[in-house]
Each structure stands twice: as structure tokens, then as C-alpha cells.
Amino acid sequence: MGEQETRGPLVLVVENEEKWAAAIHQALVPLGVQTKCVGNQRDGWKFMSEHGADSAKLVVLDIRIPMDEGKAVEDNGGIKLLRILTTYKFLAPMVPVVVYTAFPNYEQCVECMRAGAFWYLAKSTEEKRSEELIDVCRAALKGHRPKQSLPPEQWLQEHGGELTEEFGNQHIVLINEDMAQSEAKEELAGCTFLGGYAVLARQEYEDLRTVIVESDALRALLPAIVYIPQLG
């Protein structure tokens, strides 16, 4: 683990597997960034808290990471670090955090987004998935925060049952209805609209991803799209 030298803003990669740390660095090369790679929660927090204004401008965070070097991997170790980074922002600069996990699920997605994550992505070495990581990281570095990164808890309470009943065995993205109508009306024609959101659903994650990444309009909305894995 260590620094990969290129010019540009610094991205902190918190990832305990060297093959993934290298893959993330390689994926981010087109953005012209530097990457600093650490493999556990303690080193991630230490770097962010000690460097102040000169710290990373973006964090790419794995979920399954140990507390410290030589310790066992914790299933939700990354979420612990995410909560520290978003809670104690007076000790470390508030930066966007992109969660990048090999074990995505709905409950974890909701927990991460509510804890303050900028975005939640499934790991993959496929070229098109790498493009998705690039798009999200580019938006995060530019400060394009999601207008509403996750529907409020009341929304989920009111409409979660309808989502599960109609789309429970599918992968879902939610797009703010006003944004959908103004920026991608043609692409989302025929979608279900529920409680102020356009609901785009597909049985297979790859089919859903293809619809998004192959549409210029939907790609432009990527930072404001909420991804929900299969509910059923």
C-alpha cells in the first residue's frame, strides 16, 4: 500500500486487498489524480485527521476492512470509518466518500447513504463498471453533490411497500421526478412515477447499468440517481 504519483487532487483509497487498490488506481488514471492507498480504518482516519486542508479531496472506501494492520477483516469496518469521517468533520475536512464494495445489498446501501456517503457502487473489473466509478468520482471531485442522495425515511415508510410489491425482485434506480422530466424525459418515458421519483427497474443489474451508461442524459444525472439493489 502507498502512494501512486501523478498530478492532480489526492484521492484516498481505503482498501485492504492490493489487487483492488491497484485496480481502483488504474480506473482513476483518466481523472489525473494522485492516489494514497491504506488498508485499514485506523490508517484512513489517521491520514485524514493529520493532513487537514492538504488531505484527500475524495475517499474511495471498501466496506470489508480491518480496524488496524494485522487485525481481522470486519464486515462493516468501512461503515465505521464512514461514520467517523462524516461525524467528526471538525477534526478532518469533509470530503465526499464513494463506497465501493464486492458485497452490495439494499440494507447496506441505505445505511451508507444515510451515514453520508456520496455514492454506493458494486466492485467490478469490467471496463463499463470502471467507467461508472470514473463518472461518480469525477462528479464528487467537482462538488456535484446529489440534490437528494436518498429519499427521506418518511418516503421509504410511505412507499417502500409499493416498491417491494411491484419491483421486489428487480434492481431499481430512483430519479427525482423534476430532474427526470427536465433532463431525461424521453429516456424515462413509460417509467413508473412514485412519490416524486421516477422508478427505473430491471431484473438484471447489468441491464440496468447499460440503460444508464449508454444514455448521455442519464449519465449526466448519475450523481443524483439513487441505486437500490434487489428488495426481494
In-domain check, residue 146: no
- Which of residues 141, 162, 182 is at a domain's end? 141
In-domain check, residue 148: no
Specify whether 160 is located in the same domain as 190: yes
Q: What is the CATH number of the domain that holds 35?
A: 3.40.50.2300
Domains contained in the chain, number = 2
**Per-residue model confidence (pLDDT) at position 128:** 62
Specify whether 98 is located in the same domain as 186: no
* Contact assessment for residue 128 and residue 134, using Cβ atoms and an 8 Å cutoff: no
**Per-residue model confidence (pLDDT) at position 149:** 43
Specify whether 177 is located in the same domain as 133: no
- Which of residues 141, 161, 182 is at a domain's end? 141
11-36 b/e (C-beta count within 10 Å ≥ 16 → b)? bbbbbbeeebbebbbebbeebebbbb
* Contact assessment for residue 115 and residue 86, using Cβ atoms and an 8 Å cutoff: yes
Specify whether 66 is located in the same domain as 168: no
Specify whether 58 is located in the same domain as 112: yes
Specify whether 162 is located in the same domain as 123: no
Q: What is the DSSP string of 67-78?
A: SSTTSPEETTHH
Specify whether 174 is located in the same domain as 124: no
Specify whether 87 is located in the same domain as 190: no
Report the distance separating Cα 70 and Cα 52, nearest Å.
Answer: 27
Specify whether 20 is located in the same domain as 113: yes
Specify whether 98 is located in the same domain as 42: yes
In-domain check, residue 147: no
In-domain check, residue 201: yes
- Which of residues 113, 141, 169 is at a domain's end? 141
**Per-residue model confidence (pLDDT) at position 84:** 86
Report the distance separating Cα 209 and Cα 58, nearest Å.
Answer: 23
Taking only the tens of pLDDT, the chain with its 232 residues reads: 555 544 689 999 999 999 999 999 999 999 999 999 999 999 998 898 887 656 788 999 999 999 998 899 998 899 999 988 877 665 555 788 999 998 887 778 878 877 888 888 888 767 666 788 888 898 888 875 544 445 555 676 778 788 888 887 888 888 878 878 888 888 888 888 888 888 888 888 778 877 877 788 887 776 567 767 665 5
Specify whether 116 is located in the same domain as 168: no
Tell me the CA distances in angstroms from 22 to 13, 26, 216, one per residue in order.
10, 6, 29
Tell me the CA distances in angstroms from 61 to 85, 99, 132, 199, one per residue in order.
11, 5, 15, 27
* Contact assessment for residue 76 and residue 38, using Cβ atoms and an 8 Å cutoff: no
Specify whether 59 is located in the same domain as 163: no
Q: What angle do CA 206, 153, 77 make, to 5 degrees?
A: 65
**Per-residue model confidence (pLDDT) at position 3:** 52
Half-sphere exposure of 223 (CA within 13 A, CB side): 19
The interaxial angle of helices 18-28 and 127-141, nearest 10 deg, is 70
Domain coverage including residue 60: 3-141
Which one, of 4, 9, 212, lies nearest residue 121 by Cα? 212
